[in-house]
Amino acid sequence: MRREQAFPSSYLSQEDVRAGPVRRIIDDVRIETVGQGERETEKPVMHFREKDTKPFVVNLTNWTTIEASYGPDSDGWRGRPLELYLDPGVKFGRETVGGVRVRIPSGAAPLALADAVAEALKLGRTRDDFLAALKARGLKGYSATKDAATARTILADWAGAEPAFEDTIPF
């Protein structure tokens, strides 16, 4: 019997990604109590749309990686793809212990307005619906790079899935 079988973790750990990277869609990030007794603390915990995946306790390094691509507000990460992988070089203090790291999958980059509108049309929405949703979130123009996360969130809310496109077109 292996340690992870004897003492299974409630949260995603390096054992869950040891066989290779795992791609998931972010559903939610919320502050939760993790640990027990004197080790109990409040931490950000990420949940995924794929319900067969354990929640993931997000550390500062992983948060910074996600934030660089998807923005500073974790509410905007919903519907965005993430790849979780084993990094054997992760240290805890001076000891190398290995751990889970995140990266943004290729193809999760910019989203052209024309492509976003095309996706909205596939979902039974109009171009005006899509532009109204962007404006409702405070956008006065559209940048495929800066505003792609917002566009993907709108599309994900409408469809329950995240499309991947690229380019820049103002409206």
Structural contact between residues 65 and 78, judged by C-beta atoms closer than 8 angstroms: no
For residue 169, what pLDDT is reported?
43
For residue 158, what pLDDT is reported?
86
Grouping H, G, I as helix, E, B as strand and the rest as coil, residue 79 is coil
Question: For residues 3-28, b (16+ Cβ closer than 10 Å) or e, as one string?
Answer: eeeeeeeeebbbbbbeeeebebbbbe
Structural contact between residues 42 and 31, judged by C-beta atoms closer than 8 angstroms: yes
For residue 110, what pLDDT is reported?
67
- 11, HSE (Cβ side, Cα atoms, 13 Å): 14
For residue 144, what pLDDT is reported?
78
For residue 50, what pLDDT is reported?
93
For residue 160, what pLDDT is reported?
61
* pLDDT tens digit at each of 171 positions of the chain: 887 778 888 999 999 999 999 999 999 999 999 999 999 999 999 999 998 999 999 999 999 999 888 888 999 899 889 999 999 999 888 999 999 999 988 656 567 898 889 989 988 999 999 999 999 988 888 887 677 778 877 887 887 644 444 444 444
| Overall pTM > 0.85 | no
